[in-house]
Structure 1
Amino acid sequence: MDIAGYSASIFIGISLGLIGGGGSILTVPVLVYLFSLDAILATAYSLFIVGSTSVVGSFSYFKKGLVNIKTAIVFGIPSIAAIFLTREYLLPAIPEDVFTIGSYTVTNNTLLMLLFAVLMIAASYSMIRKDRQADIEAVQKQQFYYFQILLQGIFIGVVTGLIGAGGGFLIIPALVHLLKLPMKTAVGTSLVIISINSLMGFLFSLPHTSVQWGFLLSIASIAIVGILIGSYLSTKIRSTKLKPSFGWFVLVMGIYIVLKETLLK
């Protein structure tokens, strides 16, 4: 399964490079099901892999002037605060055995994977549905709805901290619809926000995590190769054409995780 895991790792980066999100949706299942990692440890590793990969991917967008720094800061501050509180207090507070239904016990690992599956199914909807704004990519006057951004940032921070997901599929619609950013600028800005959120989340996890650096760096390196490929392909292929196909794949994966953690356990 290790060979399959290393092979799958390249698609983590490719998805981030092509559509500015989706990397963490692949990372946690790869770590849990192909490398047999504990789900809580997998969320910490996912934060580092997705964060470091997004840093590399954001460089090309910086060079092209497709990153809105003010937006990244306004979005990032509440997210980082929420990530810290989630990794430091909420995640450790989840008991090993959460609850029991008959002979079936829902452990903290099972709960996190089920939450992750729900996130995947929600993400698949946002990827599959037709987004006219993304197609038009018209430059509009940027607007700041600070309260909505604050709430969105907190929500994304909790998601990132709890299940190791960068939240790109949530960030990009918010940047496009709330702030009226063009799609390519939203993707570049999303990668910066994901970088900051994920790496800060990993740093907050270090006191509670025993890291196998050789393994972690090898997966991150493969994912970085993937994002370089994805960034190149993004100049040749419209991401709006790829998102629906990737969305259907994510939907199938989400349903599979639900079945595996419940009926097939």
Structure 2
Amino acid sequence: MDVVLIVITLLIGVIGGFIAGLVGIGGAIIIYPMIILIPPLFGLEGFTAYTASGLTSAQVFFSTLSGTNRARKRPFFNLRLVGYMGVGMIVGSIIGAIISQHFTEQMINYVYIAVSILAIMLMIWKVKPTISASIRVHWSMAIVGVFIGLISGVIGAGGAFIIIPILLTVYKLPMNTVVTNSIVIAFISSIGAFVMKLFQGFVPLEHAIWMVIGSLVMAPIGMKVGEKVPDAVQKAIIIILIAIAIIQLLT
């Protein structure tokens, strides 16, 4: 395996892991385009959209697993919220991973771009979150989880980059609650996507292992930093990362 490619995949994992911990997402929103765009910049053969989605699913699975262990101990963790959305998302992600085999690479990229634009619109939409200590969990969260899971399964993501804006704008949950629980929900969702991508042969382990190592090292660090970052800054970081990824994939 090329040493340069090892360094690149490790670096991608480091960045994705830090972002996952910082803003409560699995890192897919920035990992997916980086996997596709960075290797060719160094004269290396680029990954296909199928392999990129597989590597993304591996990175998201392990980075959210690391974040989940810490999130469960935080006061904002809500088991019912995680249960409703998590079950829906794992079902949707398995179905999404299966149907993604019938998508062209361009179609997979278009799904990523379309969902990313939706995520930005929801994040910009100003909604006053509830300040109640009691978080209302609604059955509709399971239905929403299925649809998010479908999209997540296609691009190999945990779906936190769309879970966050939906919980903030539609259900008006506080940012601390959203960030804490979204990474746990994303982990549950990533189980289905990762297992299916692995079974389909879209997860080259020789590349995935370095990405995973970088993620596992940096996710806890990102979470510690995130505890000191204001809500508005966390939201701005997510929006900027999504916008950059969209622009790069369209150019």
User: Structure 2 length as normaliser, TM-score?
Assistant: 0.85
Structure-to-structure mapping, 1:15-164, within 5 angstroms: 15-21=19-25, 23-35=27-39, 36-88=46-98, 90-94=99-103, 108-128=104-124, 130=126, 132-133=128-129, 138-146=131-139, 148-164=140-156
Return 152-161 or 231-240, whichever deviates more: 231-240
Identity over aligned residues, as a percent? 23
C-alpha contact 1:121 1:255 (8 A) present in aligned 2: no
Q: Aligned pair count?
A: 241
C-alpha contact 1:18 1:234 (8 A) present in aligned 2: yes
- Aligned mate of 1:209, from 194, 197, 201: 201
Question: Distance between the aligned counterparts of 1:23 and 1:71, measured in 2?
Answer: 21
Secondary structure of residue in 1 paired with 2:135? coil
**1:218-244 CA deviation, whole Å, 9 max, x = no partner?**
101102222122111112222421431
- Aligned mate of 1:193, from 181, 185, 188: 185
Deviation of 1:119 (Å): 2.4
C-alpha contact 2:164 2:178 (8 A) present in aligned 1: yes
Question: Unmatched 5+ residue regions in structure 1?
Answer: 95-107, 260-265
Secondary structure of residue in 2 paired with 1:165? coil
Question: Distance between the aligned counterparts of 1:178 and 1:140, measured in 2?
Answer: 18
**1:179-211 CA deviation, whole Å, 9 max, x = no partner?**
554322221211111011112211122221154
Secondary structure of residue in 1 paired with 2:72? helix
C-alpha contact 1:117 1:255 (8 A) present in aligned 2: no
Question: Distance between the aligned counterparts of 1:243 and 1:180, measured in 2?
Answer: 14
Question: Distance between the aligned counterparts of 1:165 and 1:12, measured in 2?
Answer: 12
Partner of 2:213: 221
Question: Unmatched 5+ residue regions in structure 2?
Answer: 40-45
Return 203-212 or 27-36, whichever deviates more: 203-212
Question: Distance between the aligned counterparts of 2:102 and 2:237, measured in 1?
Answer: 37
**1:90-127 CA deviation, whole Å, 9 max, x = no partner?**
22233xxxxxxxxxxxxx11221122122233333344
Question: Distance between the aligned counterparts of 2:248 and 2:172, measured in 1?
Answer: 35
Question: Distance between the aligned counterparts of 1:149 and 1:251, measured in 2?
Answer: 26
Partner of 1:13: 17
Partner of 1:232: 224
Secondary structure of residue in 2 paired with 1:145? coil
C-alpha contact 1:160 1:166 (8 A) present in aligned 2: yes
Return 208-217 or 160-169, whichever deviates more: 208-217
Deviation of 1:71 (Å): 1.3
Deviation of 1:55 (Å): 1.2
